[in-house]
Structure 1
Amino acid sequence: MQQPQSHFYQSHGLRLHYWDWGNAAAPPLLLIHGGKDHGRSWDGLARALQPHFHVIAPDLRGHGDSDWARGGSYALPEYVYDLTRLPALADAPPATVIGHSMGGMIAMLYAGTFPKKVNRVVVLDGVTVRPDAKMAAVHERMIKWLGQLERLEGREPRRYTTIADAAGQMRAHNKRLKPELALHLATHGARRNDDGSYSWKFDPYQRVTAPHRLAPQEYAELWARISCPTLLLFAGESFIDPAQAAEASRSFKDVRAEIVSDAGHWLQHDRPDEVLRLIGQFVGLPSASSN
């Protein structure tokens, strides 16, 4: 079974990591994972698309084998900056960008900031901001941020006796997750501690809400700058309301929205073949399977 190559690069004083699936002569395809996840979460989709693309799957800062940010700074624009430093994208033709959850938000910000660098955008259950939402007052955002930091100060990471125990925790949160996939995700998503136990690789501070985040209307302004075709895939059973999220599609120039039924937030894990079918159709590829 084909395995990706591990590479590191520097961005913002951090040593960041990415997975390169080869086929460098093909058009670039960037896979951006969501929060508390990692680049190997995309393996099924990456293998299916690698014959047609040069597939790159970064571990975002604070995730996987990438450094944690100093001071716990994880605003979405900082992730976008890290993408601009990716060696595989330097001097490359416009990329197809696929992002899940937070990774979908990052994908849209990247495409809206650099519309000439992106050929197509696919967002998997990642429209987490409503453009018409009201932003809380600055003092409220500051108080929320300070409280989140205080609660995390000195907090010990959760420890699991075995990788299988960590995988079991993932399945407890997603009943559709197959045991073998849960074990794969936990194997790449946890590191061994000095006492032999395992803890998740992601930085707990990644979950803190930065007070200097973009305003909802600013997201819409960037979405409106995306000049390439965009596919928004919504999970039928998710914390994101598909009806409200679909309303956000009005901000895009060239957009298609689909609801993937019988799938939760991690729809690429719950319905991998259907997600691959929709993506393949969108980018003009022959039918394929992610198995």
Structure 2
Amino acid sequence: MRWPQDSEGWPITAQSRMILHRPHRWHVQEMGDGPTLILLHGAGGATHSWRGLMPILAHSFHVIALDLPGQGFTQSGARQRSGLEGMSADIAELIAAEGWLPAALIGHSAGGAIALDLALRIARPDMRIVTLNAALSNFSGVAGWLFPRLAKLLAMTPFTADLFAATASSTASVTRLIEGTGSKLPPEGIALYQRLVSDRAHVDATLAMMSQWSLEDLLAQLGRIENRTLMLTGARDRAVPPEVSERAAARMPHAQVRKMPGLGHLMHEEAPEDVAEVITAFLAE
């Protein structure tokens, strides 16, 4: 999406700004005072997913949400850096350049994997990590061989993003996509995702992220993450089962898991007050 041309009606744009830090032009939203929290959305999402949680956390914290490269309003300047390691390295450099000293990193789905990778890069033992339905599982068997190659093929094929944006962006299609994750959103939430899915550049960046995504190095290093970590899971999540976070936490020295009943993959959009309460209590411990 283009900034500011496409920003009308987008959540929290009064707190938006653009930061040119090579190789990307970052869209960042910032509000509140206190210890700094950095919010990292999942694949195919944007800062809009924090529209309910961010203002609640801003009562006690300095909260920063950013769009991942090429997604939302962030303009990617290096498409080949769309995988976990490239994104994590670029976000770490942005954090350092801006002088942010995060008290915690909070990541949803693929953003949870990025948060854990950042913990290894930033190397601040006092910084805490919160993941929401962290996407920390590789595909197994034939799917493990086929999916990365299929994603790469789609990402390299001309007009794939245009075709997806044209065929999958109806209200009914987006509603099915959301409900397929185990979450239910009100019409205004569906409309925001519909805007994203309708945008060719956003879809193309999401395909590039899928095609370059690999968890092997991160999973091998989970035991090195010394930061206190809270892994929240939605009991109704059909995209990333709670067992994924449970297995990851068992390999980490200071990780705990808490299951949120009645919530799906987009738990922070379904029940921001409940999620904020749990996060705030964890950070206050």
Q: How much does 1:142 deviate? A: 7.9
* Equivalent residue for 2:16, pick from 6, 26, 30: 6
1:7 is matched by which residue type in structure 2?
R
Deviates more, 1:31-40 or 1:171-180: 171-180
Pairs within 5 Å for 1:53-64 = 53-64=61-72
Native 8 Å contact 1:242 1:259 kept in 2: yes
Instruction: Tell me the distance in 2 between the aligned counterparts of 1:4 and 1:118.
Output: 31
1:173 is matched by which residue type in structure 2?
L
Instruction: Provide the aligned C-alpha RMSD in A.
Output: 3.4
Paired position in structure 2 for 1:153: 158
Pairs within 5 Å for 1:99-114 = 99-114=107-122
Native 8 Å contact 2:155 2:207 kept in 1: no
Q: How much does 1:234 deviate? A: 1.3
Instruction: Tell me the distance in 2 between the aligned counterparts of 1:39 and 1:262.
Output: 24
Instruction: Tell me the distance in 2 between the aligned counterparts of 1:174 and 1:143.
Output: 25
Native 8 Å contact 2:53 2:269 kept in 1: no
| Partner deviation per Cα, 1:17-52 (whole Å, 9 max, x = no partner) | 1111143xx211101001111112201111001021
- Name the larger-Rg structure: 1
Deviates more, 1:228-237 or 1:176-185: 176-185
Native 8 Å contact 1:73 1:210 kept in 2: no
In structure 2, relative to structure 1, the CA distance for the partners of 1:8 and 1:27 (3 Å cut) is: same
Instruction: Tell me the distance in 2 between the aligned counterparts of 1:115 and 1:234.
Output: 25
Q: How much does 1:68 deviate? A: 3.4
| Partner deviation per Cα, 1:228-273 (whole Å, 9 max, x = no partner) | 2101011212232322431221221211101112222111122333
* Equivalent residue for 1:182, pick from 180, 190, 194: 190
Deviates more, 1:44-53 or 1:168-177: 168-177
Instruction: Tell me the distance in 2 between the aligned counterparts of 1:230 and 1:265.
Output: 19
Structure 2 unaligned spans of 5+? 1-10
Pairs within 5 Å for 1:85-234 = 85-86=93-94, 90-116=98-124, 119-129=127-137, 143-144=149-150, 146-150=152-156, 152-155=157-160, 156-157=162-163, 158-159=165-166, 169-175=173-179, 176-184=184-192, 186=194, 189=196, 199=199, 202-208=202-208, 209-210=210-211, 213-215=214-216, 218-234=217-233
Instruction: Please state which structure has a larger fraction of its residues in helix.
Output: 2
Q: How much does 1:91 deviate? A: 3.2
In structure 2, relative to structure 1, the CA distance for the partners of 1:204 and 1:283 (3 Å cut) is: same
1:266 and 2:266 are equivalent in the alignment? yes
1:271 is matched by which residue type in structure 2?
A
Instruction: Tell me the distance in 1 between the aligned counterparts of 2:226 and 2:271.
Output: 29
Native 8 Å contact 2:125 2:226 kept in 1: no
Paired position in structure 2 for 1:288: none
Give aligned-pair identity as a percent.
Answer: 23
| Partner deviation per Cα, 1:99-130 (whole Å, 9 max, x = no partner) | 10111110010012222176211100014226
Instruction: Tell me the distance in 1 between the aligned counterparts of 2:176 and 2:214.
Output: 31
In structure 2, relative to structure 1, the CA distance for the partners of 1:63 and 1:2 (3 Å cut) is: closer
In structure 2, relative to structure 1, the CA distance for the partners of 1:89 and 1:252 (3 Å cut) is: farther
Instruction: Tell me the distance in 2 between the aligned counterparts of 1:112 and 1:53.
Output: 23
Paired position in structure 2 for 1:84: 92
1:38 and 2:46 are equivalent in the alignment? yes
Instruction: Tell me the distance in 2 between the aligned counterparts of 1:236 and 1:173.
Output: 18
In structure 2, relative to structure 1, the CA distance for the partners of 1:4 and 1:153 (3 Å cut) is: same
1:17 and 2:27 are equivalent in the alignment? yes
Instruction: Tell me the distance in 2 between the aligned counterparts of 1:15 and 1:76.
Output: 18
Instruction: Tell me the distance in 2 between the aligned counterparts of 1:255 and 1:268.
Output: 20
Instruction: Tell me the distance in 1 between the aligned counterparts of 2:42 and 2:17.
Output: 20
Q: How much does 1:146 deviate? A: 4.6
In structure 2, relative to structure 1, the CA distance for the partners of 1:85 and 1:9 (3 Å cut) is: farther
Native 8 Å contact 1:141 1:211 kept in 2: no
